[in-house]
Chains A and B, each alone.
Chain A
Amino acid sequence: MSLLSVRNLQVLFATENGEVAAVDDITFDLAEGEVLGIVGESGSGKSVTALSIMGLLPRPPARIGRGSVMFEGENLLTYGERAMRRIRGPGIGMIFQEPMTSLNPVFTIGDQIMETVRVHEGVGKAAQRDRAIQMLARVGIALPERRLDDYPHQLSGGMRQRVMIAMALICRPKLLIADEPTTALDVTIQQQILELLLDLRDEFRMAIMIITHNMGVVAEMADRVIVMYAGKIVEQAPIGALFRQPSHPYTRGLLDSIPSLADDRERLKTIPGTLPNPSALPPGCRFEPRCAWRVAACIASVPPLVAVEPEHHSACIRHGELAAR
C-alpha cells in the first residue's frame, strides 16, 4: 500500500471570472522511503497540490472540487482542522516556499521549534531543548545552543530556511513535503541540505515530495518525477526515463531551456508563449497553443495520461513519435 495516494484531486479557486481549477484531476502515489519530484511551469499548481495535502489551502477562495488524499489509508480531505493538526508534524512535515511567512517574527526560533516538540511528544522542557539543539546542528547551524534565543530577523535568509527545515523534520515525519526548499541557498549549502534529506530518508524511510524549478536538484534527489502544466499532470516517469526519453513536448521544452555549466551556446532554447489563462483554457491539450508538435486532433479532447512504458506516462497524443526522435 502507498503511504500517500492522491486520486482525481481537483482544487477550485473563486475568482472574478468564476471558479477556476488550479489543480485539475490529478492522481499519483508515493511509497514509504520514495522521493517524488514535482516540476512544472510557475503557476501550474504545484504548491496548491502540496497545500491541499497539508489541509492548508486558504478557504475561501479555495475549495476541493473532487477527489481524495489518502494518507496511511485515511482520507485527509475528510479531516477537520484538529485532526489535521495531529497529522502535521509527525505524519507530514512541510518546508514552505517562503521562509519568512512561516516563521513567527515575535518568537525566538528556540520557542518555535520547542513548541512543535511539546505539542506532538509531550516531553519536558529540557528534553525539548535538547531535541531542538540536535536538530539545528543536523541542518548545519553552528553553535545551535546560542542560536536558540535568536529571533527570525536576526538570521540570514539561508539560516532561516534551515530553521524551517529543522522544524519540519523534528517530529520525524513519515512524509516530508519540500516546496522549493533550497532556492535561496548557495549551492554548497544546498548540497548539504539535500544530503541531509536523503540521509533521513535512508535512516527512517521518510518519503519526500520535492517541488522545484531546478532540474539539477530533481536529478540528484528524485526516484520518480511528475511534470505539471496548467493544473494537470502531463508526464510521470522514473527519473532516468524522464531525462533519457522525455515523452511530452512540454517536458522536452523544459529540459532544453536549462543553461548548463558544460556548454555555452549563444542562445537558449525557449518555449514560446505563457501558461494559458485558467478561466479560458484551450479545449483539448492545454499545452497545444505553445506546442511545436500540435496537430488538429490535439484540440479535439483533453489527452489522457497513457503508458509510454510501464511506470512512464505521458498526456501527449504524439508521444510515440516523440520517442522515435
Chain B
Amino acid sequence: MTPLVRVEGLTKHFWVGGGPFGTGQSRLRAVDDVSFAVAPGETLGLVGESGCGKTTVGRMLLRLIEPTKGTVEFDGEDLLRLPPDKMRERRRNMQIVFQDPYGALNPRMTIEDIIKEPIEIHGTLNAKDARRRAGELLARVGLAHEHGRRYPHEFSGGQRQRIGIARALALNPRFIVCDEPVSALDVSIQAQIINLLQDLQDELGLTYLFIAHDLGVVKHISDRVAVMYLGKIVEIGDKRALYSQPLHPYTQALIAAVPEAKPRAERRKAVISGEIPSALNPPKGCRFHTRCPHVMPICRETEPPVTETAGRHLVACHLYPAGGVAAA
C-alpha cells in the first residue's frame, strides 16, 4: 500500500549554548537521518528515552519545526517544498495532540473556543455550525455539552487530554501525531484515553504516529514500532516481531528492563548500565556502543547500516551485517 506519510533522511540539528561565559555554540544532533513510512489507517509507535528526539520528529512531520535536512511526504506530496499558505492548508489533514495536558490549552479560553479555534483559523464553517461541531466533538470524546463553557483549570489531566483530542479532530484530519498523550495520566485514565483513540481510529480511519516511553502502552496500540536512541531509529518492525524477537541490543535491554506488575521474591539486576551519552557529542560509530553488552571493535568506528530482515523488520546494528540477511 502507498504510505500516507513517508519520511526520508529526516534530520534536525539545534545550535545551543553560548553559555554564561560566552563559550561558542555547539551543534545538538536532536534527530539524525531518520526514515520511516506510515500506511493509511496504521499506528506507528515511537519509543525511546527522554531527549532522544521523539517530539522533534513528530513536530517536523507537521513542519512545526523546520527540518535541517530530509524529506517529509504526505499523500505523495513533498511538504517541505510547499509555500506557507499551501502548508497551512495541508495541516488540516495533520494534527497533533501535545505531550503536556496541563500546558497545552490556553487558560483564558473556554473549552468550546479552544475546540473551535482551528475551525475558525481555517474558516471551514460559519459561527453556528462551528458551535454545533464543537458540541459534537465534545460528545465524541466523552464530555458533556455544558463542559464547553468552562475553562481548562476546571478539568483533570485526563479530561484535558480529551479536550486536546477533540481539538485535534476538529478539522477531520487523516493523520494525528499523538505525543505522549497518556504519559501524565494514571493507568485507569490512560486506559480510557487509549480506548478512545482506538475507537476514533476504527470509526474515522485515522492514521497515528503514537509517541510514548511506556512499552506496554505502545505495544497495545501500535501495529508497528520504531525504537529511537540518541536521535536515530535503531530498529523498526511489526510489533509482534519486535517484542517477541527484538534484534537491536538496545531494544532487547528496554524490553528486559520493563518492571512487571507482579511482585517477585528476588531482586532483578540491571541488564545494561551506563549513562545515555549527550546529543551534543554522540559516540562515534554506533551510538549505543558505550552501553552495549555485545560491543565489537567495528562498533566503535563505523556507523552500522540499516539492514532488513524478514517481514519489513529493520535494524541498525553490526550484529546483523548487510549481506547476512536479505536486503530489500
Closest to B21 in A: A149
Question: Shortest Cβ distance from B71 into chain A, in angstroms?
Answer: 28
Contact B270 A188 (CB under 8 A): yes
Segment among B1-9, B90-98, B119-127, B261-269 that sits at the interface with chain A: B261-269
Cβ of B179 to closest chain A Cβ, rounded Å:
14
Give the residue of B188, B191, B213, B255 whose beta carbon is less than 8 angstroms from that of A261: B255
Instruction: State whether the Cβ of A217 lies closer than 8 Å to any Cβ in chain B.
Output: yes
Report if B48 contacts A (CB, 8 A). Answer: yes
The residue in chain B whose Cβ has the minimal distance to the Cβ of A42 is B186
Are B191's CB and A269's CB within 8 A? yes
| Residue from B20, B51, B217 within 8 A of A157 (CB atoms) | B51
Contact A268-B191, Cβ < 8 Å, known A42-B157, A261-B255: yes
Among A43, A142, A217, A257, which residue has its beta carbon within 8 angstroms of that of B188? A257
Chain B residues within 8 Å of A255, by CB:
261
Known: A158-B276, A268-B195. A195 touches B216 (CB 8 A): no
Interchain CB contact under 8 A, A274 and B159 = yes
**Pairwise interchain contact A189-B263, C-beta atoms closer than 8 A:** no
Partner of A264, one of B195, B219, B259: B219
Q: Please, which residues of chain B bring their CB within 8 A of the CB of A100? A: none
Question: Would you list which residues of chain B between 232 and 271 have a CB under 8 Å from chain A?
Answer: 243, 253-255, 257-264, 267-271
B156 with A275: CB separation less than 8 A: yes
Which one of B156, B187, B263 lies within 8 Å of A219 (CB-CB)?
B263
What B residues does A195 contact at CB under 8 A? 267, 269-270
Most buried by B among A40, A192, A254, A268: A268
B270 touches A42 (CB 8 A): no
Whether B68 is near chain A, meaning CB under 8 Å from some CB there, is no
Least Cβ–Cβ distance between B61 and chain A, in angstroms: 22
Whole-angstrom CA separation of A183 from B192 in the bound complex: 20
Cβ-defined contact, A258 with B273, below 8 A: no
Q: Does B19 contact A (CB under 8 A)?
A: yes
User: A43 contacts B187, CB within 8 Å?
Assistant: no
A141 within 8 A of B: yes
CA distance A188 to B159 in the complex (A): 31
* Interface pair B259/A217, CB less than 8 Å apart: yes
CB-defined contacts of A187 to chain B, threshold 8 Å: 213, 215, 254, 257-259
Assembly CA distance A141 to B268 (angstroms): 21
Interface residue stretch chosen among A53-61, A71-79, A208-216: A208-216
For window 192-239 of A, CB contacts with B under 8 Å fall at 192, 194-195, 198, 213-220, 239
Q: Is the CB of B269 within 8 A of A243?
A: no
Task: Give residues 136-193 of B contacting A (CB, 8 Å).
Answer: 156-159, 183-192
From B184, B198, B258, give the contact of A216 (CB < 8 A): B258
Main SS at interface, chain B: loop
A14 interface residue (CB < 8 Å to B): no
Which of A41, A186, A259 is B213 in contact with, Cβ under 8 Å?
A186
In whole angstroms, how far apart are the Cα atoms of A261 and B262 in the complex? 12
Partner of A183, one of B51, B183, B215, B259: B183
Q: Which B residues are CB-close (under 8 A) to A188?
A: 49, 253-254, 257, 270-272, 291
Q: Which residue of B lies closest to A184 (CB)?
A: B50
Q: How many whole Å from A61's CB to the nearest CB in chain B?
A: 14
* Complexed CA–CA distance, A269 and B267 (Å): 29
Contacts of B269 in A (CB 8 A): 195
A154 contacts across to B, CB distance below 8 A: 17, 19
B215 touches A43 (CB 8 A): no
Docked-complex contact B259 and A270, CB < 8 angstroms: no
Check B259–A42 contact: CB distance below 8 A: no
Contact call B270/A186, Cβ cutoff below 8 A? no
B221 and chain A: residue at smallest CB distance: A259
Q: Name B264-307 residues within 8 Å CB distance of A.
A: 264, 267-279, 291
The answer for the CA separation of A42 and B213 in the assembled complex, in Å, is 19
* Complex partner residue of B49 from A185, A243, A254, A267, CB under 8 angstroms: A185
Q: A186-B213, A261-B216 are in contact. Are A267 and B268 (CB under 8 A)?
A: no
B254 touches A186 (CB 8 A): yes
Residues from chain B with a CB closer than 8 A to the CB of A184 are 50
Establish whether residues B261 and A189, one from each chain, have CB atoms under 8 Å apart when the complex forms. Answer: no
Task: State whether A141 touches B275 (Cβ < 8 A).
Answer: yes
Q: Is B34 part of the binding interface, using a Cβ–Cβ cutoff of 8 Å?
A: no
CA distance A43 to B184 in the complex (A): 12
- Asked whether A41 lies within 8 Å of B51 as measured between CB atoms, the reply is no
A141–B48 Cα distance when bound, in Å, is 19
A274 touches B191 (CB 8 A): no
A135 to B264, CA, bound (A): 29
Q: Evaluate whether A259 and B188 lie within 8 angstroms (CB atoms) in the complex, with A186-B50, A243-B262, A267-B195 already known.
A: no
A residues contacting B by CB (< 8 A) are: 40-43, 140-142, 151, 154, 156-159, 183-192, 194-195, 198, 213-220, 239-240, 243, 253-255, 257-261, 264, 267-271, 274-275
Give 5 closest A-B pairs by Cβ, nearest first.
A186-B49, A216-B259, A268-B191, A156-B51, A259-B220
User: 9 extra interchain contacts, Cβ-Cβ under 8 A, other than A195-B267, A259-B219?
Assistant: A42-B158, A140-B274, A188-B253, A188-B257, A192-B273, A220-B260, A259-B220, A269-B191, A271-B188
